[in-house]
Amino acid sequence: MSRVFKVISLASAALIAGCASSPQARIDADRARYESYSLEARERINAGRIDLGFTPDMVRMALGEPSRVVERRAENETTEVWVYTRNRPRFGIGLGIGSWGGRTSVGTSVGMSTGGWGPDEVLRVEFRDGVVTAVDERSR
């Protein structure tokens, strides 16, 4: 049983690693654009951080795609807000025992989900006229 658990654990770890996209992977995908940014902006992007004045492309490179995008309308302006959430992997283990006609069977399963109900919202990025004008970050 421990051998099966190890195989499942390794497969789950590989799946999580394969789904995760790092700033470095996004930088490598668009190196020319990255090189056009200032040294300060490149340092922040490398660290997976953003700053006021960043463009949508810079934010995508640092943080990836947002979980959702909403439009915020105020009296005289409309802004776009990118919402980032933390989707933590969730694991479940099941055990089943059955009996029929004098025979008994046992089954097990391990499941993993990278989504779930109500993921934690951790960051909101507000854009006005194509640049970041506000960042709301949830304290950890």
pLDDT band at 45 (very low <50, low <70, confident <90, very high): very high
Residue range(s) defining the domain that contains residue 98: 2-137
> What pLDDT was estimated at residue 105?
72
Determine the angle formed by the axes of helices 56-63 and 39-46, rounding to 10 degrees.
40
pTM of the full structure: 0.64
As a whole number, mean pLDDT of residues 29-34 equals 96
> What pLDDT was estimated at residue 70?
92
As a whole number, mean pLDDT of residues 9-31 equals 67
Residue showing tokens 């990025």: 125
Counting every residue written for the chain, the total comes to 140
Q: Considering its fold, how many domains does the chain have in total?
A: 1
The string of pLDDT tens digits covering residues 65-94 is 999 999 999 888 999 999 998 765 555 666
pLDDT band at 121 (very low <50, low <70, confident <90, very high): confident
The string of pLDDT tens digits covering residues 49-63 is 999 999 999 999 999
Instruction: Report long-range pairs for 45-54 (Cβ below 8 Å, ≥24 apart).
Output: 47/23, 48/22, 48/23, 50/125, 50/132, 50/135, 51/132, 51/135, 52/131, 52/132, 52/133, 52/134, 52/135, 53/131, 53/132, 54/131, 54/132
Q: Please determine, for residue 13, whether its predicted confidence score (pLDDT) is greater than 50.
A: no
Give the whole-angstrom CA distance, residue 30 versus residue 24. Answer: 10
Give the whole-angstrom CA distance, residue 38 versus residue 58. Answer: 11
Q: Give me 90's structure tokens.
A: 């969730």
As a whole number, mean pLDDT of residues 32-56 equals 97
